[in-house]
A and B are shown apart, each in its own frame.
Chain A
Amino acid sequence: GAVVSQHPSRVICKSGTSVKIECRSLDFQATTMFWYRQFPKKSLMLMATSNEGSKATYEQGVEKDKFLINHASLTLSTLTVTSAHPEDSSFYICSARMGQINSPLHFGNGTRLTVT
């Protein structure tokens, strides 16, 4: 079946550095991918919608210069947390839509980011 892979699953970085998280659709082409953030014991909050070949659409309150999203191919979207700070520590999850609009979304296994 369809699989969405995220890498890395865990990352620890120092404050001020940048971290890149990859989201890949392994056996299907994903024209649209979504990036979510999940705080401890909280729900998932959509950060941005990533469309292949065009700029991402960010949700209100999400800093686009801090959370850079690139969707350069139909199977890969990347989220780069720039100049990370401890408050950016969180669980980041991507999802991808396989096929046409209203098709089911498939989620990656998430990335735990810890900024020290």
Chain B
Amino acid sequence: AQTVTQSQPEMSVQEAETVTLSCTYDTSESDYYLFWYKQPPSRQMILVIRQEAYKQQNATENRFSVNFQKAAKSFSLKISDSQLGDAAMYFCAYRSSGIFGNEKLTFGTGTRLTIIP
């Protein structure tokens, strides 16, 4: 079974600075997807960024980028120019891929990010 570990329960960063959230995972599969989801106080789960394991290039979405290290099974999220609206709980998630893959999303325990004005 796959597991996802987020070792930082809480993080804080000054507004406009950069912060990196860590995530490691364990799997025996070679093809899969990794995600970062944001859950603000409204509790709505919002997809921040997605990475396909077969792609060596790190995904980026505006101020959000990942550092995907497949061999190390590491998938960190970097938020640049942090904004007050970035304050939320961030979850790292894993999903198998392929037609016969299990679509189940396995989530980490989350990192609560606080933005300091």
Q: How many residues of B contact A (CB 8 A)?
A: 22
> B residues engaging A (CB < 8 A)?
33, 37, 42-47, 50, 91, 97-99, 101, 103-110
CB distance from A23 to the nearest CB of B (A): 13
**Additional A-B contact list (5), CB under 8 Å, known A43-B110, A49-B104, A109-B43:** A44-B45, A46-B106, A93-B43, A101-B103, A102-B97
Contact: A46 with B44, CB < 8 Å? no
CB distance from A3 to the nearest CB of B (A): 10
Known: A101-B99, A102-B97, A104-B50. A44 touches B107 (CB 8 A): yes
* Chain A stretch 17-65: residues in CB contact (< 8 A) with chain B: 32, 34, 42-46, 49, 59
Contacts of A93 in B (CB 8 A): 43, 45
Known: A43-B108, A43-B110, A102-B33. A110 touches B43 (CB 8 A): yes
Q: Which 6 A-B pairs have the closest CB atoms?
A: A107-B45, A43-B107, A110-B43, A109-B44, A44-B107, A43-B109
> A residues engaging B (CB < 8 A)?
32, 34, 42-46, 49, 59, 91, 93, 95, 97, 101-102, 104-107, 109-110, 112
The CA-CA distance from A105 to B108 in the complex, in Å, is 17
Specify which of A34, A44, A109 lies most central, judged by the most chain B CB atoms within 10 Å of its CB: A44
Contacts of A102 in B (CB 8 A): 33, 97-98, 101
**Other-chain contact of A43, B91, B99, B104 (Cβ < 8 Å):** B91
Residue of A nearest to B102 (CB): A49
